[in-house]
Structure 1
Amino acid sequence: MANFLDVPVELIPLILDHVLKASHLAAICLINHSFYVFAVSRLYSHVSIYPWYHNAKTRVMKLFATLAEYPHLAQLVRRLEIRDFPKALPSYEAYEQLRCSCFQGISNATRLQSCTWTRDGSLTSYILEPLQQCAQLRELEINGNHSGHYDPTTLTLFSRMTKISLIMPSGAVLDILPKWIEKTGDSIRSLTLICKSSLLVTDALLELVSPHLQRLEHLYLAGCPKVTDKGIWAMISHNVNGLVGLGIEGLSSSFDMGALSTHCARAGGLTSLTSFTLTIHPGHTTGSWMSSTTDLLSHSQLQIFQVYATTASFNNLLADRFCMSVITVHGHHLTRFSFHRLRVSLDAIEHVCRMCAHLEEIFVLVHADELAALGPILALASHLRAAHVNLTGQPTFYNPEADAMDIARRCSSTLVQLGINTRVWQVKRDIVFLAESGIATRPVLSAYENPDIPEQFLVVRA
């Protein structure tokens, strides 16, 4: 009988393509040398620590101690994602040890390409200094609250970035942003500014940086109530090749969608746009505003369409009309449809699933009493890979796992991820043998293993 250890070496990468969880990759490293060679590179290529991980802060300390002590492992790291970090330690010695480990560990990561460091107050000079020496670093997502932690002017030394994301940027960081953008603007393809409700990100700031962002592909702004259509138009009008992704969330309530639509139409439309995300203010949203939004996107080939409402109270009839108008124009090429905190009817959801032949992801809000009827509707999407349902109202009988299983049984066999409210499952399929029809499969719900958290769950939207 063949032994598992006799698996041909060339098949090992194919096997590891189906292994997502870090702990599983770590176990595979212990099988033998051949498995170790392939598994260890995958284990360390993307290192991420989130606040909800068990003993997250202890993991951070162990991670950087390892990267500092074993340079050959640090050199495998391509993407470093630190979203939690210990800011209070029992002694000065422990703090110094962590500081030294971080400095040396990052210094050893000579092939690092992307770094995310978002916890407020944890990004310091001893993190930024070794990052500046990483010659292959091109993506930087950081907490922008510099106060007492680092000198904002050092950010201008990161002059080869293709992606810059600033979370809660302070005034001093925003002050140096134009100079930073000017130094690295020709290479930047993605710019993200995420604030809680910052009055410092303004049209004037966007107008100042826009001439240096002519090759920008992705622009995402959230929580910037001083930004209007004028600032967004400045970014679009200076663009040479056209934006591919645009996110405008939590901007000014006086944002004139009609004016932006008119400007874009005169310039030829957003023809390169494939991803669009926006926030709807129920108190300021009218039928004409939604018509202007549809007009704005009329020349785009949207694949991703996402809407966030600032409150759950909204005119559902208006929401349905908006949904239908978007699907009429873009349904034949949409792959993701997301309506967050914005309830649309089951008829509208059915229209989405029928008309979007290539739909792979759907995020919707429904009333709890409608959950039982949702399965047959989602089954109409024959290529659906991920579905997440948020509920309003209190269900009479609520067993989320049983409800999820009922939906999974009805959906296409392509479904691999399913969520209800805060619960998310990975959908696997077991082979069953039927006496009459031969081999079939049945869905099985298991814990979510993918280390890449969907963007919808990373940020509380403005």
Structure 2
Amino acid sequence: MHEWPCELVPGVLDALAWRVGDLAACCRVSRMWNMWATPRLYERLWLRDHLRVIRVFRTLADAPHLARMVRILELRVYPFGLPAEQLEQLEEQIVRTLHAAVHLRELCWTRDGSLNDRLLDTMFAHLLELRKLEITGNSRLWSPDLLAMRLPPSVRELHVVLPDRSLVQHLAAIVERAAPLEVLSVLCMVRAYGLMQNSALITDALLETLAGSTRLRRLTLVGCKNVHGPGVVRLAQAGALEGLALEGVGMPPEAFAQLLPFTHGLRALTLTYPGRAEDVAPFFARVAELVSGCDALSSLTLYARSGSPPALGSDGEEAPAAAPMHPVRSAPLPTAATTEVAVVPAAAAATSPALSTSLVRRLIFGRTARTLRRLWVLEMGVSLYQLEMLACSALAACLEDLVVHLFEADVARLAVLLSKFSRLRSVHIMSHVRSAAEYARDDLLYIARHCGEHLAQIGFRNRVWNVVVRGDERHLAPYDMAAGVYPEKLLAVRAVR
């Protein structure tokens, strides 16, 4: 076997990024391949298996030169079932690994009960390049004030998962340590009676306190029912927001108007359907204003959480029976004054929220039609008529990632509509089990074969396929889990269910 030219090897290995098994095999090809493959193999460690946690930290503790290659470390599980002596040994190996991992940029530590003050006291000592920290908010076994003292000042992104009262009380000190913080994300829900419910711990007063130590580019608040608006506005004033996600917060629709002066540079916006039926029409009106005020919005995500009120029409009226199905028209796109209302079928209307047609018009007639690259609508019914409006607008020439929640089953019409999105790279169809929208694998293959040349991924509910080209034909291949990255659109259910 002839040795490959060395200049070709990096390109081949880049295509195998985060595929642990393939990269490990490449390390054994030759010394040259090992030189290029080993840094890629250890660049990102995604630890979601107990045995792998044990083996990885044992290896890195004994091989500091490998630990220095780690840039991203995600620890989401922990082998609590080990004997006490082995747990102590693992803890010591983790500390040695983190002391050697001097180039670590991102650390994710979200497993409850796995962090303690012994680790916290020294684990950050040599992480001078750490930029992002995602941490469990359950501080039962560790001290938030110690985190405030030990957190590397280099951290600019802080993500807190399910914070308890003790951590919330020290959040201002932690944020001040990382000043000026650029990214803040708080997933703040509690489990009660078997269901995830919004938490009252995060308040506007706390957010206003944090504003003095931040200049946020991205803000994410999930499940913060005591956030009513003033704190978000204060954070927006203090920063230059490029990304804003307000999911399950207590902000009334009218509070969105106060954000308008600070959203011109917004590139990503995520909002959730209101919890009260009387807020639906004002919600869509204010969202339309926010969208219209953005100069470069590239990502818009709207979703309804379980337990949302019944479906309403585009202007907040009760949804009538479904409009009759009709073929794709070649007539001109409806004008902004068009009064036709697209609704979900009556069988689904009793239980599912629906997207506002007036908001769809804002998307296709405003500047967003030429800037939006990603549109996700989850758990919120989208009619084929609304999809047709999008497909017949300027948006069809720039949209790359689409998620829609359908209730209508018309494979042929859906294929034609999606074919109009010439730059579409990924499309995912959501639907309720009780709806008429049932799409089998063959249906998705039919749709994929009618879409543009850029389509690389297609999915239905919790199933995902990659679109591969063989000769002149397109085929569907199972999603490549070996890459270690789950489709982000399926992770969005964290606050939906």
- 1:139 paired residue number: 132
List per-residue Cα deviations over 1:32-82 (Å, max 9, x = no partner): 1111111111111111133xxxxx111111111111121111111000012
Of the three residues 252, 268, 279, the one matched with 1:256 is 252
Equivalents in 1 of 2:439, 2:487: separation in Å?
24
* Structure 2 residue 372 is matched with structure 1 residue 325: no
Instruction: Give the TM-score taking structure 2 as reference length.
Output: 0.82
| Contact 1:304 1:336 survives alignment (8 Å) | yes
Amino acid at match of 1:36: N
- 1:295 paired residue number: 289
- 1:222 paired residue number: 222
- 1:40 paired residue number: 38
CA distance 1:13–1:164, shift in 2 (3 Å)? same
How do residues 24-423 of structure 1 correspond to structure 2 at under 5 angstroms?
24-50=22-48, 56-89=49-82, 91-128=83-120, 129-147=122-140, 149-156=141-148, 157-158=150-151, 159-186=153-180, 188-196=181-189, 197-213=198-214, 215-239=215-239, 242-252=240-250, 255-261=251-257, 263-265=258-260, 268-281=261-274, 283-284=276-277, 285-300=279-294, 301-311=296-306, 313-318=310-315, 319-321=355-357, 322-329=359-366, 330-355=368-393, 356=395, 357-367=397-407, 369-371=409-411, 373-394=413-434, 400-423=440-463
Equivalents in 2 of 1:399, 1:370: separation in Å?
9
CA distance 1:152–1:80, shift in 2 (3 Å)? same
- 2:495 paired residue number: 461
Equivalents in 2 of 1:327, 1:146: separation in Å?
47
Identity of aligned residues (%): 29
CA distance 1:111–1:374, shift in 2 (3 Å)? same
Equivalents in 2 of 1:335, 1:286: separation in Å?
26
- 2:467 paired residue number: 427
| Contact 1:368 1:394 survives alignment (8 Å) | no
- 2:319 paired residue number: none
Shift, 1:316, TM fit: 4.9
CA distance 1:235–1:395, shift in 2 (3 Å)? closer
Equivalents in 2 of 1:399, 1:244: separation in Å?
36
Query: SS in structure 2 opposite 1:216?
Result: strand
Equivalents in 2 of 1:297, 1:368: separation in Å?
27
Amino acid at match of 2:93: S
Shift, 1:139, TM fit: 0.6
- 1:436 paired residue number: none
Query: SS in structure 1 opposite 2:276?
Result: helix
CA distance 1:403–1:441, shift in 2 (3 Å)? closer
List per-residue Cα deviations over 1:136-190 (Å, max 9, x = no partner): 111100111111x21111221212211000000111111111122223222x210
What residue ranges of structure 2 are gaps of 5+ in the alignment? 190-197, 316-354
Shift, 1:273, TM fit: 0.5
Equivalents in 1 of 2:47, 2:360: separation in Å?
36
| Contact 1:316 1:344 survives alignment (8 Å) | no
CA distance 1:421–1:443, shift in 2 (3 Å)? same
CA distance 1:282–1:152, shift in 2 (3 Å)? closer
Query: SS in structure 2 opposite 1:367?
Result: coil
Amino acid at match of 1:143: T
* Structure 2 residue 464 is matched with structure 1 residue 442: no
CA distance 1:256–1:389, shift in 2 (3 Å)? same
CA distance 1:315–1:49, shift in 2 (3 Å)? farther
Shift, 1:277, TM fit: 0.3
What residue ranges of structure 1 are gaps of 5+ in the alignment? 51-55, 433-439
| Contact 2:383 2:408 survives alignment (8 Å) | no
Amino acid at match of 2:298: Q
Query: SS in structure 1 opposite 2:375?
Result: strand
Shift, 1:421, TM fit: 0.9
| Contact 2:216 2:236 survives alignment (8 Å) | no
Query: SS in structure 2 opposite 1:302?
Result: coil
Query: SS in structure 2 opposite 1:24?
Result: helix
| Contact 1:114 1:139 survives alignment (8 Å) | yes
> Aligned-pair RMSD on alpha carbons?
2.1
Shift, 1:372, TM fit: 5.5
Shift, 1:371, TM fit: 5.0
Amino acid at match of 1:75: R
Equivalents in 2 of 1:40, 1:194: separation in Å?
35
| Contact 1:320 1:345 survives alignment (8 Å) | no
Amino acid at match of 1:297: V
Aligned residues: 435
Shift, 1:84, TM fit: 1.9
| Contact 1:199 1:226 survives alignment (8 Å) | yes
Amino acid at match of 1:307: L
Shift, 1:10, TM fit: 0.8
Equivalents in 1 of 2:112, 2:434: separation in Å?
36
Equivalents in 2 of 1:131, 1:401: separation in Å?
48
| Contact 1:280 1:309 survives alignment (8 Å) | yes
Equivalents in 1 of 2:437, 2:178: separation in Å?
56
- 2:6 paired residue number: 9
Equivalents in 2 of 1:138, 1:107: separation in Å?
16
Query: SS in structure 2 opposite 1:340?
Result: strand
97-106 or 357-366: bigger deviation: 97-106
CA distance 1:118–1:323, shift in 2 (3 Å)? farther
| Contact 1:308 1:461 survives alignment (8 Å) | no
Amino acid at match of 1:14: G
Equivalents in 1 of 2:174, 2:283: separation in Å?
35
Equivalents in 2 of 1:66, 1:117: separation in Å?
19
230-239 or 199-208: bigger deviation: 230-239
